[in-house]
């Protein structure tokens, strides 16, 4: 590395605000150098006594004093704006005193007044400018009284050299001020660009962090409604647990890439359903999912329990679609999930340390929900009596009797959630079937209106080709709908039933999905 590059490497980085402060000091130094030039020219021309050299020394020393004041103010945590306003008024007083030293010579005094008051207007506004005028007057009166109010009469000509020096100094000051304004604007743009980049980085970081937090918690923290501190409370929640039956054995048989893709697809679908119903996703534990309803947002115990059970039913229906998809991808394992739901009072909040927290729930009723999930039959939704009491008016439930679960001395009454009463009979929102060469899944409440015509055309074309005994190969998926048809694998005795099923599905889409 060369010596030049080493110097560049050692050079400290200066921020836009620091550069602006330095240039402001340079402008102050330039203003007082203009005043010094006027006094020195006057002294050379014999207009002023030699004792005025003390004034020259004071004017040269003042910019250093001003810089020292700023440093002290910064060390004492005095607001920079307040220190700047103080120095601006001190500048005005000294310029007023300088006008008195110049014996109020018209052109030099006007030049100094223009310099100091222009700076006050651009830097402070109307009120600081009015105060600036007052301080200039005070400085001129005080120094004028000391000097006996000596002045150059208006009729007496001021030497041309002094006028030229004054105007030259004004020109230099205006040019320097303009350059300062230009650089200040550039630094401001740089600062704005830096802030924009930092904001963008913060947004990107928050998006990444949001993936590790429930959306409700992430939103409340970033909006300021919730603080990240250790705190807990007792609250009545509905708790949900699910896992995939025999997942450990399946994970040993499938290739790693296939297993990873399958698990991520499963968790993504379950997450979408949970968020759509308003659940707070506590955690994923391998293939297990833990969700609760009632915190941080709650719609009331009854509504929270209903949404949770409805979510579980929809998850089981969505698994039918996923199984059809996985089978087409060559995964022959019949993946089924078990779901357990319980309602009760739990402890909810932030657990851990100040440096590492986990927003979760604890309590006996949480354990019971986990035990119900373990006792549930594959493909079922097992709920406790407490949950059943809250949802029985809107959910069809079947009494499964009492079961004995680990950690509880008494038998636990349990129920199986069969479906929403509003979806019973002909109103059932789901159509799902699978056989050799055919698979269909329909959830009319999730079908999007802009997919309706495409779904109807796909069903009609597939049914028509099957009736003609033509070759049909269809793999189509949309939100809430999946269709797989491979005419070569369909048994002849199944064709009429399949055609009839596609017709029923098309009828439901036609009548229940509105454009």
CB distance 361 to 291 below 8 Å: no
3-state per-residue secondary structure call for 487-499: HHHCCHHHHHHHH
Pairwise CA distance, residues 235 & 345, whole Å: 5
254 vs 140, 277, 289, CA distance in Å? Answer: 93, 32, 21
Distant-in-sequence, close-in-space partners of 176: CB < 8 Å, separation ≥ 6: 26, 27, 30
Beta strands 381-384; 337-352: pairing state: parallel
Where residue 74 falls (left for φ over 0; alpha for ψ -120 to 50; beta otherwise) is: alpha
Q: What angle do CA 348, 342, 424 make, to 5 degrees?
A: 130
Bridge-based pairing of strands 280-285 and 288-293 is antiparallel
* Rounded Cα distance, 138 and 132, in Å: 10
Q: Name the residue among 277, 355, 367 with its Cα closest to residue 314.
A: 277
HEC-encoded secondary structure of 181-245: HHHHHHHHHHHHHHHHHHHHHHHHHHHHHHCCCCHHHHHHHHCCCCCCCCCEEEEEEEEEEEEEC
pLDDT at 154: 66
| 331 SS3 class | coil
Per-residue pLDDT tens over the stretch 146-173: 888 887 776 677 788 888 888 888 888 8
Q: Contact, 494 vs 509, CB < 8 A?
A: no
CB atoms within 10 A of CB 478: 16
Q: Nearest to residue 433, comparing CAs of 483, 473, 478, 476?
A: 483
**What is the pLDDT at residue 11?**
43
382 Cβ neighbours under 8 A, 6+ residues apart: 338, 339, 340, 341, 372, 373, 375, 376, 400, 414, 415, 416, 417
| C-alpha distances in Å from residue 153, one per residue of 39, 42, 113, 501, 509 | 18, 15, 18, 112, 101
pTM of the model: 0.63
The count of other CB atoms within 10 Å of the CB of residue 251 is: 16
Q: For 428-504, where are the E strands, in sequence order?
A: 430-435, 438-443, 473-478, 481-486
Retrieve residue 17's tokens.
């605000």
Query: What pLDDT sits at residue 6?
Result: 45
CA 391, 395, 400, 403: dihedral to nearest 10 degrees? -30
pLDDT of residue 224: 59
Is-contact 336 244, C-beta < 8 A?
yes
For tokens 């009797």, the residue is 401
Residues 6+ apart with CB under 8 A from 268: none
DSSP track, 341-394: EEEEEEEEEEEE-SSSEEEEEESHHHHHHHHHHHHSPTT-EEEEHHHHHHHTTT
Q: What does the pLDDT read at residue 174?
A: 84
With a cut of 50, which residues of the chain have pLDDT below it? 1, 3-14
Distance CA 58, CA 85 (A): 21
> Tokens representing 21?
């402060």
Q: Burial of 193 by CB count in 10 Å (0-12 exposed, 13-18 middle, 19+ buried)? A: exposed
Q: Is 274 helix (H, G, I), strand (E, B) or coil?
A: helix
Alpha-carbon dihedral sign for residues 354, 359, 365, 366: negative
**117-148 exposure pattern, b = at least 16 Cβ within 10 A, e = fewer:** bbbbeeebeeebbebbbebbeebbeebbeebe
- Tens digit of each residue's pLDDT (9 = 90 or more) over 311-323: 999 999 999 989 8
Does 296 sit behind a cis peptide bond, omega within 30 degrees of 0 on the bond before it? yes
Is 34:111 a contact under the CB 8 Å cutoff? yes
**Residue 434: CB partners within 8 Å, gap ≥ 6?**
320, 323, 324, 327, 440
pLDDT of residue 458: 94
By C-alpha distance, which of 215, 190, 230 is closest to 282? 215
């Amino acid at each position: 590395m060369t010596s030049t590059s080493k110097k560049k490497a050692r050079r400290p980085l200066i921020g836009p605000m620091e550069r602006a402060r330095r240039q402001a000091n340079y402008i102050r130094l330039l203003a007082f150098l203009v005043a010094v030039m006027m006094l020195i020219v006057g002294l050379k021309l014999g207009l002023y006594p030699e004792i005025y050299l003390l004034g020259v020394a004071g004017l040269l020393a003042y910019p250093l004093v001003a810089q020292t004041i700023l440093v002290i103010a910064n060390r004492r945590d005095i607001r920079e704006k307040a220190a700047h306003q103080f120095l601006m008024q001190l500048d005005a007083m000294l310029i007023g005193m300088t006008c008195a030293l110049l014996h109020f010579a018209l052109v030099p005094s006007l030049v100094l007044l223009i310099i100091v008051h222009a700076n006050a207007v651009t830097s402070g506004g109307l009120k600081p400018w009015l105060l600036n005028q007052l301080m200039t007057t005070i400085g001129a009166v005080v120094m004028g009284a000391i000097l006996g109010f000596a002045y150059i009469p208006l009729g007496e000509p001021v030497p041309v050299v002094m006028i030229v020096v004054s105007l030259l100094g004004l020109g230099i000051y205006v040019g320097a001020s303009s350059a300062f304004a230009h650089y200040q604007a550039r630094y401001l743009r740089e600062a704005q660009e830096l802030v924009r980049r930092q904001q963008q980085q913060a947004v990107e970081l928050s998006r990444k962090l949001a993936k590790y937090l429930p959306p409700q918690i992430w939103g409340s923290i970033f909006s300021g409604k919730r603080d990240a501190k250790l705190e807990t409370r007792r609250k009545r929640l509905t708790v949900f647990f699910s896992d995939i039956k025999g997942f450990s054995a399946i994970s040993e048989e499938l290739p790693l890439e296939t297993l990873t893709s399958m698990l991520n697809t499963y968790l993504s679908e379950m997450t979408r359903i949970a968020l759509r119903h308003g659940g707070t996703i506590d955690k994923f534990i391998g293939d297990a999912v833990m969700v609760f309803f009632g915190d941080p947002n709650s719609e009331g115990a009854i509504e929270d329990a209903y949404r949770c059970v409805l979510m579980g039913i929809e998850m089981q229906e969505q698994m039918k679609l996923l199984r059809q998809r996985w089978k087409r991808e060559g995964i022959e394992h019949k993946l089924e999930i078990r779901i357990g739901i319980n309602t009760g009072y739990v402890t909810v909040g932030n657990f851990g340390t100040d440096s590492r927290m986990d927003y979760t729930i604890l309590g006996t009723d949480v354990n019971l929900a986990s035990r119900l999930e373990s006792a549930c039959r594959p493909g079922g939704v097992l709920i406790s009596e407490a949950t059943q009491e809250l949802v029985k008016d809107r959910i069809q439930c079947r009494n499964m009797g009492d079961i004995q679960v680990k950690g509880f001395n008494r038998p636990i009454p349990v129920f199986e959630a069969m479906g929403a009463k509003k979806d019973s009979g002909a109103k059932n929102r789901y159509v799902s079937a699978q056989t050799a060469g055919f698979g269909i899944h329909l959830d009319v409440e999730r079908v999007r209106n802009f997919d309706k015509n495409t779904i109807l055309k796909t069903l009609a074309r597939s049914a028509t080709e099957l009736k003609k005994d033509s070759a049909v190969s269809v793999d189509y998926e949309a939100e809430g709908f999946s269709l797989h048809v491979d005419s070569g694998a369909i048994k002849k005795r199944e064709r009429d039933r399949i055609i009839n099923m596609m017709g029923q599905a098309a009828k439901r889409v036609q009548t229940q999905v509105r454009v």
